Chains A and B, each alone.
Chain A
Amino acid sequence: MSMGQGHKDHRARSAAPLGWNNPRVRSFVYQAAVLIAVIVTVWFFAATAQENLERLNISSGFGFLDNTAGFGIIQTLIPYSEQSSYARAFFVGLLNTLIVAVIGIVFATLLGFLIGVLRLSNNWLIAKLAAAYVEVMRNIPLLLHLFFWYFAVLRPLPGPDESLNPLPGILLNNRGLILPAPVFDSGLIAFLAAFVLAIAGGIALIFWARKRQRDTGQLFPAWRVFAALVVILPALTWLVAGAPFHLEFAEKGAFDYTGGMRLLPEFVALVLGLTLYTAAFIGEIVRAGILSVGKGQREAAASLGLKEGTTLRLVIIPQALRLIIPPLTSQILNLTKNSSLAVAIAYPDLVAVFAGTVLNQTGQAIEVIAITMAVYLTLSLLTSLAMNWYNARIALKER
């Protein structure tokens, strides 16, 4: 179709009489109808809700957030007591959700990359094992994973007296997983300063090495020096300042262990379930991403004389990441949303604390559910934004 014809068509359209045959009239009517339908529905629900709230004598508004909560929470990352307000309980739940999500995302991504690479191994046994892992894990509902780990594995463990001791310093019993806790003493400032200094110096070094390579073509093993700096400088300070931190191991008390870092069985089950389940999906994404990089890329890199590791780092992975990042983003979002299954094993996450206990106590379903949903929508939005930013950075720069 030539431009002229399109122009004529446009003129004919705008000149058409304002009847049903005029596409613009039709379009306007359809859109008006949809908007009116949406408005009427919203208005109907709002009016009914108003009526019901008055009839049932449920107070509305967000004033309840200042009232005393009056219930305990088994895991609190910020100070909280039964005298704290509902708003405080909300933040406790939110932080519990965030910590489970962040730890789950880190572990699931690492395990998922490992599984994806192993599935492509040229070792038959390891490839088959990784494939079996993926097929078993992703075809079982996440809730069943959680029930399995919590009710069938962690709860029936022996009590503190007969704790399992899989590794030195690590204890596992029906009250949770106990890890050595890092304890900081005086002289910490110097240690931390050395650490920060080492990282800053290392980053500067990498920039310098890059510039030198651009200018002169000479390579400098910047990453190795960086790693050495980060290890050696703080280690020296540690020795000089007299061991400003040590690990505190749990000690057996009269009834239970004291000290150390205690992770609740609910927390352990949730992290295990989320990690193992999501890693299966991430593994498939990574595999598809690596397979999508054409064979010619690898051959071209080899013919340029790049070594196997360099090829992987500079040629294969940057191209594979482009395909991996968008679906990886949705898996990370899924994991965050799936952490709400915590309520089924009584881990005090946002849904369990706020949409569960607080809702039951206050009865203000509309406000509580709306806040909860708004939190998840915000988290989704923030994760999407961060991942889109990263995706744009690594996307193909077409000139």
Chain B
Amino acid sequence: MAMEDVTGRPRPPMRSRISPVDWARRNLFSSVGNTALTLFCLWLLWLAVPPFLDFTIFSAVWTGATREVCLGPDKGACWPLVWANLGQFIYGRYPEDEIWRVNVVFALGFAAIVPALIPSAPAKRFNLIFLLVIYPLIALVLLAGDRPGLRPVPTSEWGGLLVTLVVALTGIVVSLPLGIVLALGRRSSMPAIRTVCIVFIEFWRGVPLITVLFMASVMLPLFLPEGMSPDNLLRCLVGVALFSSAYMAEVVRGGLQAIPAGQYEAARATGLTYWQAMGLVVLPQALRHVIPGIVNTFIGLFKDTTLVLIVGIFDLLGQVRAQLSDPSWTVPQGALTAYIFAALVYWVFCFGMSQYSNFMERRLNTSRER
């Protein structure tokens, strides 16, 4: 990345070759103040980086079967703790014989998401319909079972990364269409529909997700007829989906506002109905504008999935936390090790999504400039 120059000084003319010494002089030691800052940063790095690398790599215990290998002074991270519980972290308490079903769901999802993310891949329309409609149904049947030939697995046995992905994907699949409908409703010319949408959106945006999850887990059963109470995971999924729809609606509304009214008027003038004009003319342009915002909402949603552990659902973080109270792996550095591992997993997912969003942003910008 090139240096952003806020000082407003004109950049020096490009030289054909810059020696490392020149580069350092210009970017690190250009003035007394800058030199002091650079030295201060180097000192901070010296304080932070070597101990971190020492803990996670050089002094870390990498192999072993029991907790004893991690005991003793000067031992760093206890990675065998992670290896030994990796199955728990990914599948939770899903029955061991049925884990192939989860793996099939993971593999199918991977196979469907990758081509959907590559702009030049063919059959985008079918790919997206499969990903957003057919795939969730297949995943539901495979994971929950409850069909001839498949043993039912109650959601209380789901856990780990599986639950994290189920919550995140359900949120994404529901929030996008619902968010679009809410955004259109908020911009509708009919006052009753507009009011209902505004109240809905502002309510969900004004309360923390935790209270929504509390509501889903303790209050919702009171509002449903006796014996109709869905299980805890499903109730939380509804809460997460409604919550993220409100945020999605605001992102989509931003995109709708960026489209000149003439587009809609021209579409209506050619005889398209409201839904045709929106679906064929306005929304395709509006959504393109806000792809980065949509991905940001997805990233937020992915991070927010961790909150389900507060209402007793074991997602990845919940499973990691539960494992820390397992006496067979109690070591002093256990918490630090396990949380660094969990942080790495979440970071890879979120950073990947944000890099993809940057990539799309650049792609859309170049196509607009051309």
Contact = CB atoms under 8 A, between A and B. Distances in A.
Given A52-B222, A377-B203, A124 B347 contact: no
B74 interface: no
Contacts, number: 168
Contacts of A298: 8
Nearest to B1: A131
B222 A53 contact: yes
Interface stretch (A11-19, A132-140, A183-191, A198-206): A132-140
A127 B2 CA distance: 11
A355 B211 contact: yes
A136 B347 contact: yes
B215 A369 contact: yes
A373 B211 contact: yes
Nearest to B200: A38
Interface string A107-146: 0000000000000111111110101000110111111100
B219 interface: yes
Nearest to B299: A139
A369 B211 contact: yes
A49 interface: yes
A367 B189 CA distance: 35
B340 to A, nearest CB: 8
B289 to A, nearest CB: 17
A381 B321 CA distance: 35
Contact of B303 (A123, A141, A295, A302): A141
Interface string B291-320: 000000001000111110110000001000
A369 B213 CA distance: 10
A35 B191 CA distance: 11
Nearest to B30: A122
B231 to A, nearest CB: 18
Contacts of A343: 210, 310
B118 to A, nearest CB: 22
Interface in A350-396: 351, 355, 359, 365-366, 369, 372-373, 376-377, 380-381
A369 B307 contact: no
B193 interface: yes
Task: Classify chain B: how many residues form its interface, as a range.
Answer: 35 or more
A30 B193 contact: yes
Contacts of B335: 151-152, 155-156
A332 interface: no
A138 to B, nearest CB: 8
Interface stretch (A251-259, A268-276, A334-342): A334-342
A83 interface: no
Interface residues of A, number: 66
A51 B41 CA distance: 65
Nearest to B212: A373
A376 B206 contact: yes
- Choose among B30, B191, B208 the residue with the greatest number of A CB atoms under 10 Å from its CB: B208
A291 B192 contact: no
Given A144-B317, A376-B206, A124 B193 contact: no
A45 B42 contact: no
A341 B317 contact: no
B336 interface: yes
B307 A341 contact: yes
Contacts of B189: 27
Interface in B198-226: 203, 205-211, 214-215, 218-219, 221-226
Interface in B218-264: 218-219, 221-226
B332 A290 contact: no
A123 B28 CA distance: 5
A344 interface: yes
B106 interface: no
A166 B30 CA distance: 34
Contacts of A2: none
Contact of B190 (A30, A124, A359): A30
Nearest to B214: A355
B339 A126 contact: no
Interface in A209-264: none
Contacts of B351: 135, 139
B324 interface: yes
A161 interface: no
A53 B209 CA distance: 25
A126 to B, nearest CB: 6
A139 B34 CA distance: 29
B137 interface: no
Contact of A144 (B41, B45, B306): B306
A290 B189 CA distance: 37
B332 A351 contact: no
Nearest to B307: A143
B177 to A, nearest CB: 17
A337 B37 contact: no
B27 interface: yes
Given A45-B223, A369-B214, A140 B203 contact: no
A343 B217 CA distance: 15
Nearest to B336: A152
B214 A48 contact: no
B160 to A, nearest CB: 15
A365 B218 contact: yes
Nearest to B45: A129
Interface in B99-117: none
Interface of A: 27, 30-32, 34-35, 38, 45, 48-49, 51-53, 55-56, 58, 120-127, 129, 131, 135-136, 138-144, 147-148, 151-153, 155-156, 290-291, 295, 298-299, 302, 337-338, 340-341, 343-344, 351, 355, 359, 365-366, 369, 372-373, 376-377, 380-381
18 contacts: A32-B192, A122-B3, A122-B5, A123-B41, A124-B28, A125-B27, A139-B350, A144-B306, A151-B335, A152-B336, A152-B339, A295-B8, A341-B307, A351-B210, A365-B218, A377-B203, A377-B207, A380-B206
Given A122-B7, A131-B1, 8 more contacts: A34-B196, A38-B196, A123-B28, A123-B30, A151-B339, A355-B210, A369-B214, A381-B206
Interface of B: 1, 3-8, 27-28, 30, 34, 37-38, 41-42, 44-45, 189-193, 196, 203, 205-211, 214-215, 218-219, 221-226, 299, 303-307, 309-310, 317, 321, 324, 332, 335-336, 339, 342-343, 346-347, 350-351, 354
